[in-house]
Amino acid sequence: NAGVTQTPKFQVLKTGQSMTLQCAQDMNHNSMYWYRQDPGMGLRLIYYSASEGTTDKGEVPNGYNVSRLNKREFSLRLESAAPSQTSVYFCASSESRITEAFFGQGTRLTVV
Amino acid sequence: DQQVKQNSPSLSVQEGRISILNCDYTNSMFDYFLWYKKYPAEGPTFLISISSIKDKNEDGRFTVFLNKSAKHLSLHIVPSQPGDSAVYFCAATRGNTGKLIFGQGTTLQVKP
């Protein structure tokens, strides 16, 4: 009964370092999403994948890349981390693009 | 350009009373609206939704009202319980894009 699982839960990076945030869902959902949450900003969509093999940009895609490895997994990569990418990152999945999304517990990332 | 706005950062109500959380949007193309609840250190969880063809949707203690002419929706919680204390986000989407646009969130505190 895991739902959406994100790893790691916490991470501190130095400016310029790279890392990949992992996300996996066990609900056989077609669509997956990456959001970031910043104070006073709500959640903003970074990238999404409507189905296996497809990805599309959201509101704030700059500085990020994604991979829809298979139906279960959707990873987010920061190639060269910047302090502006300090945020809480949430992965989500939904059965389709018109149904509600289920969120993971989040990854708190700090870039120093 | 904030397309979805929650102008009240916080709300405090007494247990047993009604909580009313408000949300305004600017994009008339939005056709589906959702409310999510978020506890600290957890991901958002889906609460209730409404299609633009309806003006009301009810689920237990939670009711969402949609006023399309005013581009306004509200979430009513009756009666409020201390366990309802959380951050509430409204979100909107259009068509079958699956892209959720979130408001900034309102922190609800229900006092015993």
**Tens of pLDDT along A26-58?**
999 999 999 999 988 889 999 999 888 899 999
How many residue pairs from chains A and B have C-beta atoms closer than 8 A? 61
Cis-peptide, bond into residue B40, ω within 30° of zero: no
Nearest-CA neighbor of B89 among A89, A103, A43? A43
Give the DSSP per-residue string, B14-69.
ETTS-EEEEEEE--TT--EEEEEEE-TTS--EEEEEEETT-SEEEETTEEEEEETT
pLDDT tens digits, residue range A71-102? Answer: 999 999 999 999 999 999 999 999 876 678 89
B65 touches chain A (CB under 8 A): no
Distance from CA of A15 to the nearest CA of B (A): 25
Q: What pLDDT was estimated at residue A99?
A: 75
Q: How buried is A42 (Cβ within 10 angstroms: 0-12 exposed, 13-18 middle, 19+ buried)?
A: buried
A4: enclosing H helix or E strand: strand A4-7
What are the percentages of helix, strand and coil residues in chain A, rounded to 5? 5, 55, 45
CA distance B43 to A46: 16
112 residues of chain B, pLDDT tens digit each: 789 999 999 999 999 999 999 999 999 999 999 999 999 989 999 999 999 999 999 999 999 999 999 999 999 999 999 999 999 999 999 877 778 899 999 999 999 9
Contact status, residue A54 vs residue A71, Cβ threshold 8 Å: no
Of B49, B97, B105, the CB nearest to A42: B105
Contact status, residue A28 vs residue A87, Cβ threshold 8 Å: no
Contact status, residue B85 vs residue B20, Cβ threshold 8 Å: no
Q: Which chain A residues contact residue B6 at CB under 8 A?
A: 42
Q: What pLDDT was estimated at residue A14?
A: 97
Does B101 sit within 8 Å of A97, measured CB to CB? Answer: no
Q: What pLDDT was estimated at residue A97?
A: 63
Q: Which chain A residues contact residue B97 at CB under 8 A?
A: 97
The encoded tokens of residue A1 equal: 């009964």
Separation in Å, CA B105 to CA A40, A85, B9, B88? 8, 20, 7, 5
Q: Which chain B residues contact residue A24 at CB under 8 A?
A: none
pLDDT tens digits, residue range B62-76? Answer: 999 999 999 999 999
Does B89 sit within 8 Å of A106, measured CB to CB? Answer: no
A39 touches chain B (CB under 8 A): no
Q: Give the nearest chain A residue to B32 (CA atoms).
A: A98
B98 touches chain A (CB under 8 A): yes
Distance from CA of B91 to the nearest CA of A (A): 9
